[in-house]
Amino acid sequence: MPLAALLLLSAALASPPPANRVWNDSIRDVYVDGTLQRNAQTLTTSSPRMVAVVCGDEVLVFIPETGTVSRAPKAAFTFAPDRVTATTPANLEMVVAGPVIRPNDSTLFARAEGKTLLVSAHQSQAGPMTLEELWETAPVWRAVADVYEPDGAIVERLRAIDAPVTLQVVLATWCGDSRQHVPRLLKAIARADNPNIQVELTGIGPEFVTPMAVVAGENITNVPTVIVRRNDREIGRYVETPAAATIEEDIADIVRGTPKPHPSRTERGKLLTSGTYILRDGRRITGRERFELYERPGGGTVAHSLIARQDGTSVETWATIDGEQKPRSVEVTHRAATTTRTRFRRSGDQWTAVSRGTTGGIVEQTVMAPDAFVTPATITYAWARGKTSAYVVPESGIGATKTLACTVAAGEVPKFVKFADGTSRTLVNVGRASARPSGGVGGLKPALRHAAVK
């Protein structure tokens, strides 16, 4: 065999075949010649970003990067049984069908095959809806329910409920967590076939504002939320993700009166240390704070804090700190007469904050990453030790970058924090579960002494 052929053969053998491209269900509203097509499914993929519209036997692929829309064979798409994902060859064959107009980030307009196509942000139904209306609005949800097999033991627990309960299922058809969990709950309840379980479905609009009577009146900060009532009295609620293995197990636990504490969405490893702070205003005790620090899979740590105040309010913080000892994501939940939940995520030099709370609606903010990031959790004040400014997260809502006048004790877990307004936090007990990795927790250096953050 000629040398050139051998080299080509070696290169072909050394290079693995291209991986399949993965497409994810991402609900949009699709209009063909001005008519909303509820059965059209939209899928998205990245590198480059593309939006595929599957309508009947036809697939049209919008490529914003090139400003074109192309036809692709539907047979090239292999769908998962629940239709939440699909795969195609990496080098999917497409034929350009026309140009794309992109009026804004969420809207695509094109003419192809003599038809006009408009793909826009999904306008989910707000307010009460029937099961059939839900399936019609989000057909993929029905596919999720159809292929799901609930745990038989949990179904029996639902079937054994012997007193009437009502489940108000508050959902959004634009929400991935709602798509993940609500169809499975509905399948389990249908399988149990218990007349003592009544289900009411309520949709939340795309801006988390409508219906306001539900968002604010029922204190909805995340979807899905399932409010469990007996004799018109709330006995518990499921929020966003399961505390147990599944949503239906959570509901069975709530009805039985044994709800599990929610472990949060944050993946974490073994416990490193935990402790308690006493919160004071002068000499008056105003609350207690329980905290834990965990290893983080892949490097870094996870911090959790729960502050319970004497007035009955509480504030809970979850924070992930990466292997470079920088906070990467923070969630703060303030519970009072109403609840506010704010999530912060860092991407490069920017923090993005999204808050939902008392007045309904979504508040968003993007800021340049400051020198330090401080939450209501006491240990995060040590992140600002020696810094000139910090982004300060209040107990509820969006924060701001400001100077911070306080004295923070040395150590990975400071023994005290004293504020200029006379309030303080004092560590009263701390336990070390295992040897901590070198480099400190959350970027804290044990060698640092007391320092005032001005």
330: in domain: yes
Same domain, 368 and 436: yes
**Does the pLDDT at position 9 exceed 50?**
no
Q: What sign has the CA pseudo-torsion 263, 268, 270, 276?
A: negative
Domain boundary among 82, 100, 121: 121
Number of domains in the chain: 3
- Residue ranges making up the domain that contains 112: 21-121
CA distance 346 to 355: 15
Same domain, 210 and 337: no
CA distance 41 to 55: 7
Burial classification of residue 356, based on how many CB atoms lie within 10 Å of its CB (0-12 exposed, 13-18 middle, 19 or more buried):
buried
Average pLDDT over residues 153-179: 96
**Does the pLDDT at position 204 exceed 60?**
yes
Per-residue pLDDT, 17: 52
Q: Are 54 and 34 in contact (CB under 8 A)?
A: no
- What pLDDT, in 10s, does the model give residues 50-96? 999 998 888 999 998 899 999 999 999 999 999 999 999 999 999 99
Average pLDDT over residues 272-290: 95
**Does the pLDDT at position 409 exceed 60?**
yes
Burial classification of residue 208, based on how many CB atoms lie within 10 Å of its CB (0-12 exposed, 13-18 middle, 19 or more buried):
buried
Give the CATH number, domain containing residue 250: 3.40.30.10
Same domain, 93 and 136: no
**Does the pLDDT at position 396 exceed 90?**
no
* pTM for the whole structure: 0.77
Per-residue pLDDT, 451: 31
Same domain, 250 and 316: no
Same domain, 244 and 314: no
CA distance 20 to 23: 10
Per-residue pLDDT band for 438 (boundaries 50, 70, 90) equals very low
5: in domain: no
Per-residue pLDDT, 432: 62
Q: What sign has the CA pseudo-torsion 80, 115, 132, 223?
A: positive
Q: Which amino acid is at 336?
A: A
- What pLDDT, in 10s, does the model give residues 180-200? 999 999 999 999 999 999 999
CA distance 83 to 140: 6
Same domain, 289 and 404: yes
Domain boundary among 121, 139, 167: 121
Per-residue pLDDT, 412: 77
Same domain, 383 and 428: yes
How many CA atoms, within 13 angstroms, populate the side-chain half-sphere of residue 166?
A: 11
Q: What sign has the CA pseudo-torsion 285, 287, 290, 296?
A: negative
Domain boundary among 211, 227, 256: 256
Same domain, 168 and 277: no
139: in domain: yes
CA distance 44 to 446: 47
163: in domain: yes
Q: What are phi and psi of 132, to 5 degrees?
A: -65, -35
Same domain, 313 and 374: yes
Residue 375: both structure tokens together: 């939450």
Same domain, 432 and 448: yes
Query: Residues 421-440, buried b or exposed e (16+ Cβ, 10 A)?
Result: eeebbbbeeeeeeeebeebb
**Does the pLDDT at position 440 exceed 90?**
no
Same domain, 158 and 85: no
Per-residue pLDDT, 398: 87
- What pLDDT, in 10s, does the model give residues 224-233? 999 999 999 9
Distances (CA, A) of 322 to 375, 412, 432: 17, 16, 21
C-alpha of 47 from chain center: 23
CA distance 82 to 73: 20
Cα 319–Cα 244–Cα 212 angle in degrees, nearest 5: 70
- What pLDDT, in 10s, does the model give residues 335-357? 888 888 899 988 888 888 888 87
Q: Are 287 and 279 in contact (CB under 8 A)?
A: yes
Per-residue pLDDT, 359: 59
15: in domain: no
Q: Which of 234, 302, 240, 231 has its CA nearest to residue 271?
A: 302
CA distance 151 to 94: 42
209: in domain: yes
Whose structure tokens read 């009072």? Answer: 336
Residue 388: both structure tokens together: 């000139």
Give first-to-last CA distance, the chain, whole Å: 75
230: in domain: yes
C-alpha of 320 from chain center: 14
- What pLDDT, in 10s, does the model give residues 10-21? 544 444 555 799
Residue 186: enclosing H or E segment and its boundaries? Answer: helix 176-192
Query: Quick one: CA torsion of 221, 226, 230, 235, rounded to 10 degrees?
Result: -50
Q: Which of 22, 49, 52 has its CA nearest to residue 40?
A: 52
Q: What are phi and psi of 113, to 5 degrees?
A: 55, 30
Same domain, 66 and 147: no
Q: What sign has the CA pseudo-torsion 414, 416, 419, 424?
A: positive
Per-residue pLDDT, 233: 96
377: in domain: yes
Question: Please, which residues have CB within 8 angstroms of residue 8's CB and are 6 or more apart in sequence?
Answer: none
